[in-house]
Structure 1
Amino acid sequence: MNRLTTSLGAFELTRFPEDPRDRLRAWDAADEYLLRHLESEPVDLSGTVVVVGDRWGALATALAEHRPVQITDSYLTQQATRANLRRSGADPEAVGLLSARDTPPGRIDVLLVRVPKSLALLEDQLHRLAPGVHPGTVVVGAGMVKEIHTSTLKLFERILGPTRTSLAEKKARLIFCTPDPRLGRTGSPWPLSYALPDGIGPVSGRTVTNHAGIFCAERLDIGTRFFLRHLPRRHGPDRVVDLGCGNGVVGTAAALANPEAEVTFVDESYQAVASAEATFRTNAGAGAKAEFLVGDGLSGVPAGTVDLVLNNPPFHTHQATTDATAWRMFTGARDALRPSGELWVIGNRHLGYHLKLRRLFGGCEVVASDQKFVVLRAVKA
């Protein structure tokens, strides 16, 4: 736990799920820069304040007395925000929590945007927010210097209005945008759909749907292609989980290969789960069974109820490289699996996932590998 000290107060903040061993902070210099700016100007926060892309709820918690609306694509961010509000003693209802799939407020007086890693997600968000922005709306973006590019500024300028940046402070920068009511409002170009290539099993030539912000939303990444070529061949009424489902192509392949299976798609991204559902509905038969969950890994799946978990774990949390997410996924899979249930994992060879799986499951085997990727199988005793 770390303390964020601002002119608005001091706040004890953590990421979610809270881990005492985690030294990563729940905020960064961009959050501090933005909060200092709101006080130094000062910005009138008496109207509708919308905070987009808040990483772990630091901005929403610091501004809780102004009753902001937080919009995020992350379930974990929402849980972190709730926990940090409780820890700060704020009214738990002080912040309105909306997902990236929800309709934003119809009028926005102050729009604060933490620039996301995905330019596509920023584009989609700005299009969705634009109808609520008016000529008097104060629009301020924030990010680390490495997160803000010319393409970032062009998006603000094209969708909302004239845009400029601040000087950098502690490797962070602010974006100032003046809404231009003369700009024509157009809808978001997302989601995108494309046909999958041949040679990747049951989903060859099928159509996949990607909402903004999904990993490799414009093409199928090479790791997933490799995984699809080496998925287990099973038959019967299995319960299968596509853990960290992304656009759902892996779980959909499992459903097509085994029509009797019931597939659960799980991701902490609202956009991902929406993509997975669209991909599955487009390709699966009318009688295919599936469940779609937004949550923290397999925490919402009862223990000992799953036959097969398919997993392509991320090794980044925002800008930080970490194996914490993979470790939680593997641990959750072990708990969710029935005895003799299987976890199949794909990862870059250098990540050493086989070591973690051996510690958790007592062993694992290499199903397939090439110079870059490895597919591993671990069985619950």
Structure 2
Amino acid sequence: MNRLTTSEAEYELARFPEDPRDPFRAWDAADAYLLRRLEGADNTEPVDLSGTVAVVGDRWGALSTVLAEHRPVQIADSYLTQRATRANLERNGAGADAVRLLSARDAPPDRVDVLLVRVPKSLAFLEDQLHRLAPAVHAGTVVIGTGMVKEIHTSTLALFERIIGPTRTSLAVRKARLIFCTPDPAKARTPSPWPLRYELPEGIGPASGRTVTNHAGVFCADRLDIGTRFFLGHLPARSGPDRVVDLGCGNGVVGLSAALANPSARVTFIDESYQAVASAEETFRANTGPGAEADFLVGDGLSEVPPGSVDLVLNNPPFHSHQATTDATARAMFRGAHAALRPGGELWVVGNRHLGHHIRLRRIFGNCATVAGNPKFVVLRAVKR
């Protein structure tokens, strides 16, 4: 738990899921800089927030919580962001309906009077959202972006300029900057170029040559990443009516390979990203027959999967949370897999060799074997006893 202080109040904020060992805050200097600008800091005029306020990319709900009295619309790709926002609203005395929560897959508001953008890690996601929101922006819309200096690049500003209108940046304050964009009503509003599709390379198993769909923001959206490629070459050979989970599914290539290799299996694709699960579903539907069945779940890992109900979990865990390097997500995934697996069920993990996942797996499962490795990656197998 940590506190964000504005000129009006103090807010208690936390990430989701809450972890007392998590050293990272639910807000940073970029959030605070934007909020000060909205209040009229540094001899500027306060921003009129009486119209429709849209907040894009609010990482843990800090911006939405502080602005709750203005009933903003939050647009996020993250299920965890939405859960954090609800929890932060509740702990700070705001009603559950104070913020309208939209996913990146939902239709945006028809009109936006104030557009606030927390610059995301993915430039593709920013591009997609600006295209989707551009028709709702008018000549009087106030458009302000915010991010840490290391997150704002020439390419970031170019997107605002190309899609919305003339763009400039502020001076840096505590390593954060603001982006000011003036909407140009004369700009042609073009559709988003996303999703992208590409053909998988040969030699990667059952999914070779299949077409993958990638919505904006999904990891490695224009090519097969090398870690997944290595994993696909070492997936377990199984048969029969297994319950399989592609945990942190991304575009669903791993789960698709498991389904093609074992048509009797039922695969559940899980990710906390709405864009990822949409990508996985489109990838699966495009490459399987009309009778093929699978489940697609946006959620917090395996928290909604019944304990002891799964035979096999396949996992390529992330080791970043936004800009922070952390193994917290991987640890949570491993613990969730242990709970969801039946006795004798297996968790197969691919990861960078230096991350030391085998140590955590042995602590949780009591065992861990190396299936395959190269100088960069390792595939690990842990069995629930």
Q: When the two structures are superposed, what TM-score results if normalisation uses the length of structure 1? A: 1.00
State the partner residue of 2:38.
Answer: 38
Alignment of 1:219-368 (within 5 A): 219-368=223-372
CA distance in 2, matches of 1:68, 1:169: 26
CA distance in 1, matches of 2:119, 2:288: 36
CA distance in 1, matches of 2:140, 2:58: 23
Report whether the alignment pairs 1:48 with 2:52. Answer: yes
Deviation at 1:289, TM superposition (A): 1.5
Report whether the alignment pairs 1:91 with 2:119. Answer: no
CA distance in 2, matches of 1:182, 1:76: 37
Alignment of 1:111-190 (within 5 A): 111-190=115-194
Classify the secondary structure of the residue corresponding to 1:201: coil
Classify the secondary structure of the residue corresponding to 1:168: coil
State the partner residue of 2:15.
Answer: 15
Deviation at 1:36, TM superposition (A): 0.2
Classify the secondary structure of the residue corresponding to 1:137: strand
Tell me which amino acid in the other structure corresponds to 1:367.
V
State the partner residue of 2:196.
Answer: 192
Alignment of 1:103-114 (within 5 A): 103-114=107-118
Gaps of 5+ in 2: none
Tell me which amino acid in the other structure corresponds to 2:7.
S
State the partner residue of 1:207.
Answer: 211
Asked whether the 8 Å contact 1:261–1:289 carries over to 2, the reply is no
Identical counterparts, % of pairs? 79
Equivalent pairs, count: 381
Classify the secondary structure of the residue corresponding to 1:266: strand
CA distance in 1, matches of 2:381, 2:334: 12
State the partner residue of 2:82.
Answer: 78
1:370 to 367, 374, 379: 374
CA distance in 2, matches of 1:34, 1:211: 28
1:379 to 373, 377, 383: 383
CA distance in 2, matches of 1:87, 1:125: 29
Deviations 1:3-39 (A, max 9, x none): 1001131100000001122121000000000000001
State the partner residue of 2:69.
Answer: 65
CA distance in 2, matches of 1:200, 1:95: 45
Tell me which amino acid in the other structure corresponds to 2:241.
P
Tell me which amino acid in the other structure corresponds to 1:177.
C
Tell me which amino acid in the other structure corresponds to 1:3.
R
Deviations 1:111-162 (A, max 9, x none): 0000000000000000000010000000000000000000000000000000
Gaps of 5+ in 1: none
Tell me which amino acid in the other structure corresponds to 2:37.
H
Deviations 1:81-102 (A, max 9, x none): 0000000001111000000000
CA distance in 1, matches of 2:191, 2:97: 31
RMSD value, Cα: 0.5
Tell me which amino acid in the other structure corresponds to 1:145.
V
Deviations 1:157-177 (A, max 9, x none): 000000000000000000000
Classify the secondary structure of the residue corresponding to 1:242: strand
CA distance in 2, matches of 1:56, 1:282: 34
Asked whether the 8 Å contact 1:8–1:62 carries over to 2, the reply is no
CA distance in 2, matches of 1:204, 1:369: 21
CA distance in 2, matches of 1:121, 1:23: 27
Q: When the two structures are superposed, what TM-score results if normalisation uses the length of structure 2? A: 0.98
Deviation at 1:311, TM superposition (A): 0.1
Tell me which amino acid in the other structure corresponds to 1:18.
E
